[in-house]
Amino acid sequence: MTQTLVMAAEQRQADRDQAAAVGEAEGRATLALLRQLRGDDWQRRTDATEWDVRTLVSHLVAQAEDALRLRTLLRRELVGRLHRRGRIPVDAHMAVGVDEHRSDQGPELVERFAVLWPRAVHARWRQPALVRRAPMSLGMPGVPRVRVAYLLDVILNRDLWMHRVDLARATGKLFIIAEHDRHIVAQVMRDLAVQWTAPPVALELTGPAGGAWLIGSGDPVAVVRGDAVGYLRALAGRDDNVDLELISGERALLARLRRTRLPF
């Protein structure tokens, strides 16, 4: 490995100012992609298995609305629990938001996103410290409770980033990587290292958003290489057979890396 290994576990969680800057940058990148969509693009299926492109964009709009209006968020949570029993709570909540935009056309949703996302980023930034410190559940099986700040500063930016990947793949549009993408990858590597219980591994992520990361503590027992965007898709549950290359060391760690999942 020619790159210097970075201790992933030593990366600090994004603070509110970093998160706002990244959120604004990711919003601009997503909007630039959305404004390229035309005609049949809106009906194309995405890697978010239940959604086509139009439905996915309606989810992004609904998510921004939730950040701006607590009443809307709570109402959707209640309706989801009452009328979509049997579904994971977070999925039920998202389904309600999507359903409320069922009649909206794609271009209309894009313009709503353009207005609402920057306001949602600011609304998250100004949440008081008392709220940010409060514990909460992400509503995902097997995911421990976190502080609200983790949702506001990490997960929501990461979620939008992954959906931009979904949109680019579904429509064949170019996925443009800028400096803020590297920050998102670094936060994912931090979370991977925090939950990693296997022997340490050196993970070399290629591509413009990549880098060399030490996952675990101590001398790595394997060196593994893979595309940065491709591996984050795997961590988000988008690819069970992600292409990872064992450069040296213990082959069993390839399977461990492939089956690890993180919240997005």
CB 99 within 8 A of CB 62: no
The one-digit pLDDT tens for each residue of the chain (264 residues) are 667 899 999 999 999 999 999 999 999 999 999 999 999 999 999 998 889 999 999 999 999 999 999 899 999 989 988 877 778 888 888 999 999 999 999 999 999 999 999 999 999 999 999 999 999 988 777 788 999 999 999 999 999 999 999 999 999 999 999 999 999 999 999 999 999 999 999 999 999 999 999 999 999 999 999 999 999 999 999 999 999 999 999 999 999 999 999 999
**Sign of the alpha-carbon torsion through 11, 12, 13, 18:** negative
- How far apart CA 158 and CA 146 sit, in angstroms, is 16
Q: Residue 192, Cα to own-chain centre: how many angstroms?
A: 13
Boundaries of every domain in the chain: 6-10+180-259, 16-179
Q: Which contiguous run of DSSP H or E holds residue 156? A: helix 156-171
Is residue 59 within 8 Å of 106, Cβ to Cβ? no
253 phi/psi in degrees, rounded to 5:
-70, -20
Q: Would you state the structure tokens that stand for residue 21, as one six-digit string? A: 């800057």
Query: Cβ distance 80 to 96 under 8 Å?
Result: yes
- Residue 144 is predicted with a pLDDT of 87
Cβ burial of 103 (10 Å; 0-12, 13-18, 19+) is exposed
Answer for the pair 213, 238: CB distance below 8 angstroms, yes or no. Answer: no
DSSP secondary structure, 4-72, as one string = PPEEGGGSPPP-HHHHHHHHHHHHHHHHHHHTT--GGGGG-B-SSTT-BHHHHHHHHHHHHHHHH-HHH
- Domain covering 6-10+180-259, topology: Nonspecific Lipid-transfer Protein; Chain A (3.30.1050)
Q: What is the pLDDT of residue 90?
A: 87
Architecture of domain 16-179: Up-down Bundle (1.20)
Q: Which amino acid is at 116?
A: L
Token digits of residue 225: 């290489």
Distance between CA atoms of 214 and 202, rounded to whole angstroms? 5
Of the candidates 97, 5, 22, which has an alpha carbon nearest to the alpha carbon of residue 60? 97
Q: What stretch of H or E contains 256?
A: helix 252-259
Backbone angles phi, psi at 178, to 5 degrees: -125, -170
